[in-house]
Amino acid sequence: MSLQLDARQRAMLKEMGVQVWLPGTAFAVQAPAPAASAESVTALAAPVTALRAPPVQTPQVATPVASPAPAIPALPVSPLAPDFGDAPTWPRLVDRVAQCQACGLHAGRTHCVLREDAAPAQADWLVVVDPPEEDEERARNAVAGDAAVLLDNMLKAIGLSRSASGTQGAYVTAVAKCRAPHATMATTADLQQCLVHLRAEIALVRPRMVLLMGRFAQQLVQLEVPEAQRQPLEKLRGSVHQVEGLPAIVSYHPKVLLRSSPNKAKAWADLCLALDTLEALA
């Protein structure tokens, strides 16, 4: 992919901590950028119109396993999990998520984190993030606050939007729809039970690319590929995986990027890999 960035785009990448190489210049080694403040995150809001990625080192792409065996023994679906039949609908999904008691996460929730308005349009990108925390639960959104602003601007940098559809659409959801009870964390068993909701979302949105952001979201890869079972997020980055038959890229949660600016360059490389993979499928 060629690099054609205007001054605004280069300034946005600089705010993310991503060093951009241009012909006739040399790589400059700089100290890591400080953690993003609310003001600097808001400054990234300028729209980006060109779909171009900076040159990055080509990551090693792992050949997807045709019929991967589960790394973790599959659990039987709880009798309390919803049954959508062959044709899930958005109203039915919203209702079933609100009533679901298939795992222990429902004991700590105040609200489920799933949009309750009109069904989302078809979107080529499915962004799956970690289970909600208190701020996401209050907002009833998979990502909230400064993390949501940063995510939106990361999507803008590659020509995507949560409000768009089709090739420019990105549907964002949480790997689990309920906040874990106080002082606990979601388990692999919880995520397996919640897969029924994610599969219904995939059927409704019909994405072509999955972006897994966060250490809980990455477990969707670990459920399908035996070799990934004990690998951390850093080891799963840079390769193309599969989730529910779709190509999947692992990256950092926006909250992690707010605390660790050097990882923003790695996140940019992840987005470029996802773009290249999707273009190869066209």
Each residue of 48-87: pLDDT tens digit? 333 344 444 544 544 444 444 333 334 344 444 445 555 6
Tell me which H or E stretch contains 247. Answer: strand 246-251
Domain contains 127: yes
Q: Which residue has better confidence, 127 or 85?
A: 127
Domain contains 118: yes
Which stretches within the chain are classed as H helix? 7-15, 38-42, 90-99, 134-139, 145-157, 188-205, 219-222, 233-236, 254-259, 262-281
Q: How far is it, in rounded angstroms, from Cα 194 to Cα 101?
A: 10
Q: Helix, strand, or coil here: 140?
A: coil
- Structural domains in the chain (count): 1
CATH code at position 120: 3.40.470.10
For the ranges 17-21, 140-144, 150-154, the lowest mean pLDDT is seen at: 17-21
Q: Phi-psi bin for 205: left (phi > 0), alpha (psi -120 to 50), beta?
A: alpha
Domain contains 53: no
- Res 131 pLDDT > 90: yes
* pTM of the predicted structure, to 2 decimals: 0.72
Domain contains 271: yes
Domain span at residue 129?
Answer: 90-281
**DSSP class of residue 54?**
-
Residue 241's pLDDT is 93
pLDDT band of 231, cuts 50, 70, 90: confident
Residue 18's pLDDT is 63
Arithmetic mean of pLDDT over the chain: 78
260, with CB counted inside 10 A (0-12, 13-18, 19+), is: middle
pLDDT band of 7, cuts 50, 70, 90: low
- Res 152 pLDDT > 60: yes
